[in-house]
Amino acid sequence: MPMDSRTPMDIDVQDYARTLALRSPDHYRVGPFTVRHNPLWELKYANYAIPDRGAEPTAAEVTALIGAFRERERLPRLEFLPDWAPAVEPALLAAGFTVENRAPILACAPGALLAPKPVDGLRIAVPATEAEFTDAARVQHQGFGGEGEPEEGMAGWLRTSASDGGVVALATLGPDPAGAGGCSLVVDGLSELTGLAVAAAFRRRGIGAALSAWLTATAFDRGCRTVWLEPGDDDVERIYAGVGYRRIGEKLNISLTPAAG
């Protein structure tokens, strides 16, 4: 639906996330839920459900949702703003789901973006070769706690994101991949900054700030009026705050523990 200037920004953000889920090629519906499914990437952050606005799911609909995730060998998981559908969290808790966290949502508009301190020798660009997409996938995979090489589908997902109108960036220092991240396709003036990771050997040098500012500015250049994101922790939030991001709301991340359901 078109963004309404009278609608709170956090609701705009949730509407945007649901719109992208509905546009994803492998999404499916279960009752009042839209599931964003990635058949090539098992990472839980790439597979989650969003309830319809104001949804009041029955116990049977929640059970069906759990079954749909398990059928596809994915962790039953949801990401949404509690105010978007207040009845959903109690229904999930009753079915054995556990709150992972309540993450702040940050946003930045063009006039608020601040230039970070330059990092000597840092180069940021859109990956152009298979090797560069693989480097970006590896930085993200290991940056978010994975070991070894990323799943094969991860680099493919980045290529698809770039070809479908999103922004993908790889930061390098000399020959070494130092950071990676992306901004999703701009829809109704909004874009999400996602997957920003800095390789362990290059942290605390200002690369995260430089990369987030580059991605945000690139999204603005493509007609975006607001870029939003979910920081991983308080330290990461401070990095984004340093380039102009501010809190606009809170998102619930909730999943079913393996022994439940």
Averaged pLDDT of the chain:
92
pLDDT of 261 > 80? The answer is: no
CATH number of 110-248: 3.40.630.30
Q: E strands, the chain, where?
A: 28-30, 33-36, 48-51, 77-80, 97-108, 122-125, 167-173, 176-183, 190-198, 226-229, 246-256
Q: pLDDT per residue over 176-224, tens digit each?
A: 999 999 999 898 899 999 999 999 999 999 999 999 999 999 999 999 9
**pLDDT recorded at residue 115:** 95
User: Which one is predicted more confidently, 178 or 149?
Assistant: 178
CB contact at 8 A, 55 and 88: yes
How much is the average pLDDT of 67-87? 97
Q: Fold match between 9-104+251-256 and 110-248?
A: yes
Q: Where are the domains of the chain?
A: 9-104+251-256, 110-248
* pLDDT confidence bin for 41, thresholds 50/70/90: confident
Range scoring the smallest mean pLDDT among 34-38, 53-57, 229-233: 229-233
Residue with tokens 């020959």: 175
User: Which one is predicted more confidently, 143 or 34?
Assistant: 34
* pLDDT confidence bin for 7, thresholds 50/70/90: low
What are the CA-CA distances from residue 36 to residues 27, 42, 53, 190, 211 (Å)?
5, 12, 16, 18, 26
**73 closest CA partner among 100, 103, 29, 41:** 41
**DSSP structural state of residue 73:** T
CATH number of 9-104+251-256: 3.40.630.30
Q: pLDDT per residue over 99-135, tens digit each?
A: 999 999 999 999 999 999 999 999 999 999 999 999 9
